[in-house]
Chain A
Amino acid sequence: MSKFQFPQSIKSRPVYGTLAPQPGKAHLMIADAEGAEALLDLAEQDSTIMAQAHIIFIPKGTDFSDKLRALSPAQFYEGPTYEASIQRIRHVLEHAHQGLQVYLAGTEGLMGQAQNEAMQAGIPHTSIQTEHRGSVARRMQCVHCKGITEDVLFDPFVCSHCGLNLFVRDHYSRRLAAYQGVCIDAEDPGNIPDPVELYS
């Protein structure tokens, strides 16, 4: 599948790369949905890293699990949601030995949150790689009520917590792993443009 090229943006917006095998004693791979394809490509570059790999995969309705299992990673875990996987991710990171390589692939929301966990666990940023695949939906924070709305694909959208109509900004917080959503009709209440798909 071809990769989506994000347009040039402002300096707080993250940029993602292409996963490449790095020398290391252990390899933690976290992916959701089409992110699996990035892991399959990674294994194709160097299948030997799979013997020390721990894959944490959230399918989100896709059927890549069998293909990932077929890579024979040392450990494979399929989680129903990212939230359900967090405790496991934290546990792995906490008990990581020096030289752990972290590979993140899939949606921005997954990569941003997992990257935070890795940074907080003290993994050097040079040992963390990211590759965007699949949905271009964004994880959004409502600047008003602070609630997070996951997988936002349209602009404007309704905050899933306070119900305000928010427009989608490019300003991004790594700490929150979220973009900022701001009330769109504050100066003209009720005037809410039709939602448009992101990047369309």
Chain B
Amino acid sequence: MTIQFNNETFRDDYSFSNSDWAIKRFPFPFHEDSYMYSVNMEQHRGGPAGSVYEKRFDVDEHYVAEMRDRALVLADDPLRCQSLPHMTLAGWDLLELIMVSKSEDYPDLFELHRDGNRWRWVNKPMGIDDTFTFLDETTLPYGPMEYITRQAQGDFCVLDQRDDMLWMDAGMVTTQADWSLDFDIGMNFFEWHAPVPLAHEMGIFQRALKFLLNIQQGSPARRLNWTMTVNPLLDTSPENYHKWGIQKTSLTPENLGAKQHLRVELQTFFRLPRSNALVFPIRCYLCSFQDLMTMPKWGRRLHRVVRDLPEELATYKGFIDNRPMMLDYLSQYDDGLSTSRGIWPDLETEPPLQR
């Protein structure tokens, strides 16, 4: 299908919206009626047609607007994109991975023409047609990682692998759930995860790291993570928290359905060929509560998950103060019926709300 790109904003007037198509394919992150941290990783080898799992790098109706928002963030704060000196080769690896994947998966939107090291890259939605020399930085307007991630939705962490450890040595981070690349750059896997509650004690990070160290080229993996965001704000950075934090207090019972968004990250993991680095794209999907409630199964389940979520997690995710108001809203969509397993909405088979 051809994608109609939305003309929308993720700040100020927040004109962002999801089409019916985008709601139906939203990566609802709960496969059962409760949630706790786990090593929830699986192979990233496609998925149901039209789902966000289908392609290696999902492109949707928000693509052009998200790239515009990224450019605004970077103009304001160039430190959101950083790469330590030894990471340039990994940047070229990433550029190649994204260009090859997108041109193969979306031939009507992207083209890559290679003649030896002479490459021509055509990005139709963004109106880009550039010719450059692969592995020659002087032929691109930015470093290779910055160049390609200004044209790819989601944040990107590029991890160097050495001493049986992953090191956050490069990244493009403008749509983050309240963590700072500038602060975390250079840290190892356990250090950058330090603020996360409970998971260390559960042994989750030890097991996750072991899995990641063994990811092979051509066998990417994926997982979902989630949090809550008031207004469809992509840049929930700690850098700007003193500006956006106040928006969390703007919820009322009347506006909650429209303002409160479930924020889901589709996280994927790819081994890079030349550098042996690991790239970790973190793709952010936003959906308002009122749009989620159009899927009866999701309404029932979200209520139960939010209600029963351990206090530590609700605090860490930053919605402990708003939880009671969220539950008042969500409880209207929970009639107590059981729900089918798995994350898909099952609209045809799940009963409508019984009230």
Contacts and interface: CB of A to CB of B under 8 A. Distances in A.
B58 interface: no
Contacts of B186: 173-175
Interface in A160-194: 164, 169-171, 173-176, 180, 182-183, 186-189
A146 interface: yes
Interface in A87-129: none
B187 A146 contact: no
Nearest to A175: B186
B246 interface: yes
Contact of B245 (A10, A169, A186): A186
Contacts of B194: 10-13, 170-171
B33 to A, nearest CB: 30
B185 interface: yes
Interface in B139-193: 180, 182-187, 190-193
A193 B148 CA distance: 45
B316 interface: no
Given A141-B183, A143-B239, A183 B192 contact: no
Contacts of A141: 183
B244 to A, nearest CB: 8
Nearest to A14: B191
Contacts of A186: 241-246
Contacts of B79: 146
Nearest to B196: A10
A60 interface: no
A144 interface: yes
Contacts of B190: 11-12
Most buried by B among A141, A143, A182: A143
Contacts of B244: 186
Contact of A164 (B187, B200, B242): B242
A20 to B, nearest CB: 24
A186 B183 CA distance: 20
Interface of A is mostly: loop
A186 to B, nearest CB: 3
Interface residues of B, number: 27
Contact of A10 (B184, B195, B238, B246): B195
Contact of B239 (A10, A144, A173, A187): A144
B241 A182 contact: yes
B182 A183 contact: no
A56 B286 CA distance: 54
Given A143-B239, A144-B241, A188-B249, A11 B193 contact: yes
B242 A173 contact: no
B185 A175 contact: yes
A187 B246 contact: yes
A170 B194 CA distance: 9
Interface in B98-112: none
Nearest to A9: B194
A171 B239 CA distance: 15
B223 interface: no
A171 B242 contact: no
A174 B187 contact: yes
A52 to B, nearest CB: 30
B187 to A, nearest CB: 7
Contacts of A174: 186-187, 191
Nearest to A143: B238
Given A173-B184, A173-B186, A176-B183, A187 B245 contact: yes
Contact of B182 (A11, A146, A170): A146
Interface in B306-325: 321
Nearest to B197: A10
Interface string B208-219: 000000000000
B222 to A, nearest CB: 25
Interface in A5-39: 10-13
Contacts of A175: 185-187
Interface string B193-209: 11100001000000000
A189 B191 contact: no
Contact of B187 (A12, A170, A182, A188): A12
B315 to A, nearest CB: 13
A189 B249 CA distance: 11
Contacts of A169: 195
Contacts of A180: 180, 183, 238
Nearest to B321: A187
8 contacts: A11-B190, A143-B180, A144-B238, A171-B194, A176-B183, A180-B183, A186-B244, A187-B321
Given A171-B194, A176-B183, A186-B244, 19 more contacts: A11-B191, A11-B200, A12-B187, A12-B195, A146-B79, A146-B182, A169-B195, A171-B183, A171-B195, A173-B183, A173-B186, A180-B180, A180-B183, A180-B238, A182-B241, A183-B242, A186-B243, A187-B249, A189-B246
Interface of B: 79, 180, 182-187, 190-195, 200, 238-246, 248-249, 321
Cβ-closest 7 pairs across A and B: A186-B245, A12-B194, A183-B242, A10-B194, A11-B194, A12-B191, A175-B186
